Amino acid sequence: DQQVKQNSPSLSVQEGRISILNCDYTNSMFDYFLWYKKYPAEGPTFLISISSIKDKNEDGRFTVFLNKSAKHLSLHIVPSQPGDSAVYFCAARGGGPGGGADGLTFGKGTHLIIQP
């Protein structure tokens, strides 16, 4: 039972253009969503997050949008740079009986490739 889904295993975008990574979830108890970036042989690096009471959060080139009614969130990166090439994980928190003390539930990741 996959509660957080990233349906695109990979995405190729030209340098300078916008990258849009998508994520869907099924558990309406999730209250906090995060995006992580991961390079091979390294731990995930926190990028940006959004609370379920908001619909948008922006930090520099990164913007996360949340559509609660559709149970969908997306990460926009603009402009895309070669260093953005990595695996991006969508994660959600709060879906279990522990409430805020839960760990994160991750999607399977999307491999973003920025082409020069």
Residues 46-85 that bind another protein (CB under 8 A): 46, 49
CA 51-52-54 angle, 5° bins: 75
Whole-number minimum distance, CB 46 to another protein, in Å? 5
**8 contributes a contact to another protein by CB under 8 A:** no
Q: What CA–CA distances, in Å, run from 16 to 60, 76, 78, 84, 114?
A: 15, 13, 7, 11, 9
**16 contributes a contact to another protein by CB under 8 A:** no
Is residue 37 within 8 Å of 86, Cβ to Cβ?
yes
Q: Which stretch binds another protein (CB under 8 A): 10-18, 56-64, 69-77, 97-105?
A: 97-105
**95 contributes a contact to another protein by CB under 8 A:** no
